[in-house]
Amino acid sequence: MKFSSIHEFAVLDFSPSGIRGCWFKRKSGRFSLKSHASLAVHAGNPAEDWKKLRRELGFGSDCIIFLTGNIGDDSVFYRTVTPDLPPKAMKDALSFELPGQLPREVTDEEIQFIPAGRLPDGSECAVNVYAFKPSGLDKVTALISQSLKKADYLLYPLLSLKLDDPPCFLPEIEPDFFFADGQWHDRSSWDDSMYEPWEKQFRELFELPEPLNFPIRDYLGCLLIARLAASADFSVLQAGIRILPRKFRPGRLRNQLKIMAVLLGLLAFGLIWEHGGSLIRSSQEQSRLAAEKAHLETQIRKLRNKLKAGEKEQKELTRVLNQKPGDNNLVERIADLSRLFPSNVMVQSLRWSDSSVDLTLRSEAENLNLPQLLKPLTYWKVAQLQERRRNNDVTRNITLKLVPAGGDEP
């Protein structure tokens, strides 16, 4: 048998004569009865008896709680046949035919229903229906708020019956009748041997204590609901059995959604933190690399400038090294040159090299015959002579180039 997704649950059965309960927990793929208890109910303070039953069973706040019993004396349970419809459409169909099933006029009755199985010909579906008045539900919810505070499900125990189940007698709910083959029968035809199929079925389905310690007939209502809770198709049956208002049901799904939302928020924050930190680190690294690149570019420019300056200095040094030692009579020759120029001739620039002497002269003399003037210098001769006047000015700019003449030195 496949089990539901529930891992533990408690079934609390209430009746005018007393209350009893069972706590089941899954172990190695099979549900085991962890504890069971039965108590009498005191009319003066029934809520305290419910609290005591919960303490004796010992289940915690995470345990799913099923309440089962008869909601009101004027409630009705029956089995009918309908087409195999979705839950909402099936509820509408059952509500439509409800007046024909009740022995009285319909007022404001509500219903619970669970499919009992397909008929042998497969054309229609047998459905267990429980009709009750909201006033009875108000009494149960008041008791829940005073004792258990919250409960997950409230349903009539015979709703879980299947088409092929043996006869079922729950004297604490219907002391005068038992249910068999889809109908109510008078208790006079009941035989206690009819409990034996239930004994065999539940001991195969659950891990239960010995019969002396756990008489199944006393806990048959709890076991019927336990079989429903442990079935694999329980989740698809909930649409027909949800009658408790939301404020009386634990907010397990809501709490789980809140926890999930918090976890998702923390996960998103962690991802943003990690991604943001990565972006910040990447930005910082990029800024550092950009600054380092700029620094390297500056260093490269400086090195290039130094290299160019070094190359220029090297060229100049090479030029100096390649020059000849020069003329020992340089000063005397310059003196000879200065003595030959008249007072109205001014030397603006002079450049002396191995092969020539370049002079730039300025003079206001009208007749200045430089070749004749420089003729006494036998070791030089005039190689180039240019004169310029600007705006008919008497001042002349003279460019003179002298080269060695090959004559004797003075």
CATH number (domain holding residue 193): 3.30.420
Same domain, 176 and 258: no
- Whether residue 399 sits in one domain with residue 271: no
Is there a single domain that holds both residue 192 and residue 341?
no
Indicate the number of domains in the chain.
Answer: 3
Instruction: Tell me the per-residue pLDDT of 237-265, one tens digit each, with 9 for 90 and over.
Output: 888 888 888 888 887 666 667 788 888 88
What's the pLDDT at 392? Answer: 55
Boundaries of domain holding 337: 330-404
In a domain, residue 204? The reply is: yes
Q: In what order do the strands lie in the sheet with 30-39?
A: 30-39, 18-27, 8-15, 64-69, 153-155
- The per-residue pLDDT for 410 is 41
Q: State whether 212 and 283 are in the same domain.
A: no
Residue 324 has what pLDDT? 64
pLDDT digits (tens, 9 = 90+) for 127-142: 999 999 888 888 888 8
Confidence band (pLDDT; 50, 70, 90) for 43? confident
Average pLDDT taken over every residue of the chain? 85
Whether 275 is in a domain gets the answer yes
270 and 384 assigned to the same domain: no
pLDDT band at residue 219 using 50, 70 and 90 as cut-offs:
very high
pLDDT at 378: 78
337 with 279, same domain: the answer is no
30 with 156, same domain: the answer is yes
**139 occurs within a structural domain:** yes
pLDDT of residue 274: 79
Are residues 277 and 243 located together in one domain of the fold? Answer: no
Asked whether the whole model's pTM tops 0.85, one would answer no
pLDDT in tens, 105-129: 767 788 999 999 999 888 899 999 9
> Region 173-183: what's the mean pLDDT?
93
Find the CATH number of the domain harbouring 358. 3.30.1360
Q: Which of 192, 219, 250 is the last residue of a domain?
A: 250
Are 174 and 37 members of one domain?
A: yes
Examine residue 96 and state whether it is found in any structural domain, yes or no. Answer: no
Query: Are both 237 and 339 inside the same structural domain?
Result: no
Shared-domain flag, residues 207 and 145? yes
Q: Flag whether 315 is in a domain.
A: no
Q: Is the domain of 362 the same as that of 228?
A: no
pLDDT digits (tens, 9 = 90+) for 359-368: 888 877 777 7
In a domain, 239, yes or no: yes
Domain assignment present for 3 = no
b/e 60-83 (16+ beta carbons within 10 angstroms → b): eeebbbbbbbbbbeebbbbbbebe
Asked if residue 98 belongs to a domain, the reply is no
